[in-house]
Structure 1
Amino acid sequence: MRTTRREAFHLALGAAGTLGVAAPAAAAGRAGDRPGWRTGIEGQRLADLGDGRYRNPVLAGDRPDPNVLKDGDDYFATFSSFEYYPGVPIWHSRDLVHWTPLTTALRKHIGSVWALDIAKHEGRYYIYIPALDTNDPARPLKTWVIHADDMRGPWSDPVDMRIDNYIDPGHAVGEDGKRYLFFNGGHRVRISDDGLSAVGKIEHVYGGWPIPDDWIIEGFALEGPKLLRKDGWFYMFSGQGGTAGPPTSHMVVVARSRSIHGPWENCPHNPIVRTAHRDEPWWSRGHATPVQGPAGDWWLIYHGYENGLRTLGRQMLLEPMAWSADGWPRATGGDLSRPLAKPRPASTGPHGVALSGFTDNCFDTKLAFHGSRRDYARRAKLQDGVLHLEGQGSGPADASPLLFVAGDRSYEVSVELEIDDAAQGGLLLFYNDKLFCGLGLSEGKLHAYRIGQEERWPPGGPATTRRLHLRAVNDENVVTFFHSLDGKSWTKERSFEVAGYNHNVADGFLSLRPGIYASGKGSVTFRNLTYRALPAQQ
């Protein structure tokens, strides 16, 4: 009799609520229940199949609005960071398939960071950042810029460009050598030669591609313009249809012009990328950057939701692109359900980041606070792999939890904590301050949270310890929480279904992230943070 994947998974949990050992990764060599991924650090899934091919995503987990800069032999990618701080993560690659984190470029809180753009001009790097700050009613949506002489930093403090109420900047240099930023809705403004301020007024220069009336989309939503100059043409790659909503919403459209000033002509076979049916493996594909591969061929990098797993956020996808004889681009990867040939020349290298442990560089490479307006260095102290976190707020909702991106369909995460004074600390799966679940410990009490509220039926119950091990096992959106006094014998506390913890339910464009929190008066000491992707059970 064949054991199903879910039955085998729960057999691995063991009897009487004690967590057992799952089947070794070597038995399957894959993460998730769709065949084809290899595994890397901590069992995390890899795009590189080891045979000259890759399978999407090339960068798993929440990597929304990816923007990629080719700089010689190097590629740099960054993403919308919204309310996660430190913000603006930068990743590096040499082949578009293997990616490693480099740094986080934004340390000063300027609001919720939306889709941005990386540019290099006359030897200096720039990142153009739209940010929504609801605490500034006079100017809630501003465009900022940071700059550096090296992508590793140090990056400047953000500079207010005095451009308001637009998102999704895209940098371009015209045939006259002048610099411009394009924005959502087909708008554009000229910027100063130093790239730090606007020159002149916002202009409307492009109306988008007319979407058929019978297409099921979230909205028109012309956004994310990325400009490319090639063979005497300026090409504008834009997103339309809405970045979430129905699976068939998002798409990539292209227009071109002989001049940066237009007029812009739409591609005759728009959209060049779109999810056509809900049965496809990737939903809401869009917001693309065209980039030239190491061998001079062309690729599209964009985001999409994994079918049935919106909780993971919008993941980074890579699709080959070809140019037709009449100078229009065509995406050639289909629905991305099959492995594709890697960019040439085929290469290997490190990929991803270890999520376990509190390392000295963890705030540069993996950990970020949600919604924190305080200097994280004042709250968080790292010493010899131990994190001391000062309490904030009255519970997880206003504690600015410390979170990381998980890109696997199933995984487990555990941590040891010790509370001090009147503090409360715990382990969460956190979407936003109204939608999270997890376990927490305070003096004399174990707390259980679901749908952003403390459980009353049944409550968490009493606790006689200030030191506790917590574990969460997320099996494709069914998460089970455990606690233990010694980290060896585990007691199952309760389970939740979390598929609805996503943008279509809660808004905000975020993802469901594992993490820890400290609230109340006092501090919480965290040790032995451990992450492990769970292999497929065939």
Structure 2
Amino acid sequence: MHYRNPVIGGFHPDPSVCRSGEDYYLVTSSFEYSPGVPLFHSKDLVHWEPIGHCLTRPEQLDLSKAWTSGGIYAPTIRVHERTFYMTTTNVSGGGNFIVYTDNPRGGWSDPIYVDQPGIDPDLFFDDDGTVYFSTSWDRDGQGIYQSRIDPRTGRRLSDIQLVWKGTGGQFPEAPHLYRIGEWYYLLIAEGGTEYGHMATVARSNRPDGSFESCPHNPILTHRSLQRPIQATGHADFVQTPDGHWWAVFLGIRPAGYPMRHHLGRETFLAPVSWTEDGWPIIGEGGTVSETMRADGLALSPLPAPPVRDDFEAASLAPAWTLLRTPSSPRWTLAEQAGCLTLRGTSATLNDGGAPAFVGRRQQHFACRVSARLAFDPQRDGEEAGLTVFMNERFHYEIAVTRIGGERKALFRRRIGSLWKVEHEAPWGEESIVLTVRADREHYAFGFASGEDREPFWFGRGGMRDAGDGIGGRIYRRHPSDVRDRQRRGVANAGAFRLVRL
């Protein structure tokens, strides 16, 4: 049997995984988006169900000062004596912290801050009960630093010491410590998260070193190779109940030339084999493919995720995300049945703040996204619509606005310092169906009066102009409290809709 990589597509970087009995749990970075740290469950390491987030409350997640690609970095998830622990870094406020829970599908604790600098924190529970906390730091030259801590208080129980500088690649980071047999293995990433990315490993007979570098390093990399998957690294190991080892890691799937990875960094999976002298190797001699053998995995496919959200639940599905942490709620599902209502502010997509924005990750090169929008702008400048959004300097949008006292549909692009409304047209009907169609190279933007009508294609943009990252958002901005709704259906039925091509 075989499986396809990535196992979690689209902007799910820095994966970390743990096993509890027959169940696997996985977390990824979330940066300036909230809720923080997406959480997934699986029975087979291949098929992953989103079950929520670890950071869902204001006490846990402050992104008010998060810059683009700031916020929450590189989490680690571990389970010890039936308690789950997740540690991560809020680089925009607070530093390294831990949250824990007895039920990963329920709520997680308030943050427990750890007095150790650096990023990409790791927790390792040794057999004697000692807990080791490792981070990437550049105090005395960049490397992996470690201390012993109390995970329930965050108090350090030892001094911080440098344990390994890696093999000489830039940015040694993403440490994970394991005890396997008689050895303690320290797995890290090197080479940066670009095309030189790699995973390297060292081992010691003590958890605090000294560590001996693997003679076969790197144990995972696609640097200088012509492969559809690039930038592989930032790995984490997990053992199946029958004793086999697997690794999750990040990678990208570039498109076009010059290469761009507009789907972002994604989560991949590969088996781990062991040499006769006890060193791990990921994948096929350190490389991976889009199609891999699932030897030893009892595959348990999940039902296909819905391609349509009618906004009939009490809360947003886990796939939806917000930009930073607004000071007051900007959205509700309770105001009108089957509608997502957004309340705008003066913040725009160009500001780097917290606009009225609800979005989801683009997970497929080819997709079609539609939303029925009911919006009557009362003043010039009030606007609502769909955006393909990478950050405040790179985005497209198709929207309804008011210009010179007239309601209009428009298509706009923002590419670096260039900002231009490409097309505009009068629109007098009560609602509008906005559509974004994507392929591997381009986005097309259209609108229609109903879902059963082919859109009038209004604008087009290259995916490389949208940057590298995350796309397919719903947003809303305007200075009063006029509502922006996405209705269900042709008459009053069907909101944000994603259809795979």
User: Which category of TM-score, normalised to the shorter sequence, fits these structures?
Assistant: 0.7 to 0.9
State how far apart, in whole Å, the 2-side matches of 1:60 and 1:458 are. Answer: 31
1:326 aligns with 2:277: yes
Partner AA of 1:512 in structure 2? I
Contact 1:421/1:523 (<8 A) preserved: no
Q: 2:369 — aligned with what? A: 413
Q: Pairwise mapping of residues 350-365 of structure 1 onto structure 2 (< 5 A)? A: 350=302, 353-357=305-309, 358-360=311-313, 363-365=316-318
Structure 2 gap ranges (5+): 64-70, 137-142, 488-494
Alpha-carbon shift at residue 167 of structure 1 (Å): 0.6
Q: 1:190 — aligned with what? A: 148
State how far apart, in whole Å, the 1-side matches of 2:52 and 2:9 are. Answer: 18
Q: Secondary structure at the match of 1:116?
A: strand
Q: 1:32 — aligned with what? A: none
Label 1:456 to 1:95 Cα distance change in 2 as closer, same or farther (>3 A). closer
Contact 2:146/2:208 (<8 A) preserved: no
Of residues 63, 83, 89, the one that matches 1:124 is 83
CA RMSD of aligned residues (A): 2.2
Label 1:195 to 1:352 Cα distance change in 2 as closer, same or farther (>3 A). farther
Of residues 221, 225, 239, the one that matches 2:175 is 225
Partner AA of 1:269 in structure 2? H
Alpha-carbon shift at residue 500 of structure 1 (Å): 4.2
- 1:327-370 per-residue CA deviation (whole Å, 9 max, x = no partner) reads 11122335333632214243222066335213526635110111
Q: 2:410 — aligned with what? A: 447
Label 1:163 to 1:354 Cα distance change in 2 as closer, same or farther (>3 A). farther
Alpha-carbon shift at residue 456 of structure 1 (Å): 4.2
Of residues 461, 477, 480, the one that matches 1:519 is 477
Q: Pairwise mapping of residues 21-420 of structure 1 onto structure 2 (< 5 A)? A: 52-107=1-56, 108=58, 109-111=61-63, 112-133=71-92, 140=93, 142-164=95-117, 166-174=118-126, 176-184=128-136, 185-192=143-150, 194=152, 196-211=154-169, 220-244=170-194, 247=195, 249-308=196-255, 310-333=261-284, 335-337=287-289, 339-350=291-302, 353-357=305-309, 358-360=311-313, 363-376=316-329, 379-382=331-334, 383-398=336-351, 399-420=355-376
State how far apart, in whole Å, the 2-side matches of 1:456 and 1:341 are. Answer: 48
Of residues 463, 485, 490, the one that matches 2:449 is 485
- 1:371-412 per-residue CA deviation (whole Å, 9 max, x = no partner) reads 233354x53334533111111235333525211122211111
State how far apart, in whole Å, the 1-side matches of 2:349 and 2:237 are. Answer: 40
Alpha-carbon shift at residue 486 of structure 1 (Å): 2.3
Partner AA of 2:10 in structure 1? G
Contact 1:467/1:485 (<8 A) preserved: yes
Q: Secondary structure at the match of 1:365?
A: coil
State how far apart, in whole Å, the 2-side matches of 1:243 and 1:71 are. Answer: 29
State how far apart, in whole Å, the 2-side matches of 1:462 and 1:131 are. Answer: 45
Q: 1:13 — aligned with what? A: none
Alpha-carbon shift at residue 455 of structure 1 (Å): 5.6
Q: Secondary structure at the match of 1:198?
A: coil
Q: Secondary structure at the match of 1:354?
A: coil
Alpha-carbon shift at residue 302 of structure 1 (Å): 0.3
State how far apart, in whole Å, the 1-side matches of 2:390 and 2:177 are. Answer: 33
Label 1:332 to 1:129 Cα distance change in 2 as closer, same or farther (>3 A). closer
Q: 1:47 — aligned with what? A: none
Alpha-carbon shift at residue 153 of structure 1 (Å): 1.5
Percent of pairs with identical residues: 28
Alpha-carbon shift at residue 294 of structure 1 (Å): 4.2
State how far apart, in whole Å, the 1-side matches of 2:458 and 2:472 are. Answer: 17
- 1:283-308 per-residue CA deviation (whole Å, 9 max, x = no partner) reads 10000001113432111110100132
Q: 1:38 — aligned with what? A: none
Partner AA of 2:231 in structure 1? S
Q: Secondary structure at the match of 1:499?
A: helix
Partner AA of 1:317 in structure 2? F
Contact 2:197/2:223 (<8 A) preserved: no
Contact 2:112/2:153 (<8 A) preserved: no
Label 1:477 to 1:400 Cα distance change in 2 as closer, same or farther (>3 A). farther
Contact 2:331/2:340 (<8 A) preserved: no
State how far apart, in whole Å, the 2-side matches of 1:239 and 1:352 are. Answer: 33
Of residues 464, 469, 489, the one that matches 2:428 is 464
Partner AA of 2:218 in structure 1? P
Contact 2:17/2:78 (<8 A) preserved: no
Contact 1:66/1:77 (<8 A) preserved: yes
Alpha-carbon shift at residue 130 of structure 1 (Å): 0.1
Alpha-carbon shift at residue 316 of structure 1 (Å): 1.0
Contact 1:73/1:294 (<8 A) preserved: yes
Label 1:208 to 1:500 Cα distance change in 2 as closer, same or farther (>3 A). farther
Q: 1:475 — aligned with what? A: 439
Partner AA of 1:363 in structure 2? L
State how far apart, in whole Å, the 2-side matches of 1:480 and 1:366 are. Answer: 23
Alpha-carbon shift at residue 466 of structure 1 (Å): 4.5
Label 1:272 to 1:514 Cα distance change in 2 as closer, same or farther (>3 A). same
State how far apart, in whole Å, the 2-side matches of 1:465 and 1:437 are. Answer: 23
Structure-1-length-normalised TM-score: 0.80
Alpha-carbon shift at residue 273 of structure 1 (Å): 0.4
Q: Secondary structure at the match of 2:466?
A: coil
Label 1:76 to 1:352 Cα distance change in 2 as closer, same or farther (>3 A). farther
State how far apart, in whole Å, the 1-side matches of 2:45 and 2:435 are. Answer: 34
Alpha-carbon shift at residue 125 of structure 1 (Å): 1.3
Number of aligned positions between the proteins: 457
Partner AA of 2:340 in structure 1? L
Contact 1:353/1:366 (<8 A) preserved: no
Contact 2:6/2:290 (<8 A) preserved: no
State how far apart, in whole Å, the 1-side matches of 2:217 and 2:342 are. Answer: 50
Structure 1 gap ranges (5+): 1-51, 134-139, 212-219, 504-510
- Out of 121-130 and 186-195, give the one that drifted further: 186-195
Contact 2:87/2:99 (<8 A) preserved: yes
Alpha-carbon shift at residue 123 of structure 1 (Å): 2.4
Q: Secondary structure at the match of 1:450?
A: strand
State how far apart, in whole Å, the 2-side matches of 1:359 and 1:201 are. Answer: 52
Contact 2:413/2:420 (<8 A) preserved: no
Structure-2-length-normalised TM-score: 0.86
Q: 1:37 — aligned with what? A: none
Runs of 4+ in 1 over 6 A off after TM superposition: none
Q: 2:459 — aligned with what? A: 494
State how far apart, in whole Å, the 1-side matches of 2:363 and 2:81 are. Answer: 36
Alpha-carbon shift at residue 457 of structure 1 (Å): 5.8
